[in-house]
Amino acid sequence: MLAYGLKVLGLSRHPFVAYKNSAAANLAGTAGTSLTVTYSPVAANLVVAGIQFASTVSALTCKDQNGNALTLVTNKTFNYIFQGVAVTGATSYKFAWTTNSKAAGFVGEYTGVKGIGTNASSNGSSTAQTLSLTTTKADSFMVCSMGTVATSAFTLVTGNAIRVQSNSGAGNSSSIALIDNTAVASGTSLTCATSSGSGAWSVMGVEIYPRQ
């Protein structure tokens, strides 16, 4: 009877991935070689971190204050997205790079994550930012780092929500947002889309999924 009820309601028999919380930071009007986002995740949850630069950088890393590194998933132009399991005691995450640049970044936390699936990226120059990917597991989340080389706010077009967004202040030319979307069935095409001020943009997306 319980199994039948789950089927009728369209529910899964395994835990769901869920968004927990997030934080963001920026360098305001000053270029630099590091940016720290203060955030304390629950140990063993998944951390996703994104950063948008105003210019080209190199040797980029993202680590918590104890030196535990996140893994780079993908990047395009000046936008990068990282992921990793939160380690006990983490209270902040620091992006560090060479060559001064202004920047804006975020850290997001998700619960119930078993693994990392596919990833995708896109870029363009307009007031509309969009990215799609096809899920490889059931009940997946598509988590996106939405970035523009401009100082402008994002408005949600497609997705669950803009979880957090930040820009680096007047004259900085880098804005970023954390956005996600979900699908029940494997093989679903998911899209995250926003609108903002006109300018060059790029979007990084990664699939995260629960125990199957």
Extended beta strands in 18-114, E state: 18-26, 32-38, 46-53, 58-64, 71-76, 79-85, 92-101, 103-111
Q: How far apart are CA 85 and CA 145, in angstroms?
A: 18
CB 190 within 8 A of CB 120: no
Q: How far apart are CA 158 and CA 25, in angstroms?
A: 24
Element (H, E) at 6: helix 2-9
**For the whole model, what pTM was predicted?**
0.91
- pLDDT value at residue 10: 40
Q: How far apart are CA 168 and CA 151, in angstroms?
A: 7
pLDDT in tens, the chain (212 residues): 333 333 333 444 457 999 999 999 999 778 999 999 999 999 999 999 999 999 999 999 999 999 999 999 999 989 999 999 999 999 999 999 999 999 999 999 999 999 999 999 999 999 999 999 999 999 999 999 999 988 889 999 999 999 999 986 666 688 999 999 999 999 999 999 999 988 899 999 999 999 87
Q: How far apart are CA 143 and CA 90, in angstroms?
A: 21
Segment 166-185, tens digit of pLDDT: 986 666 688 999 999 999 99
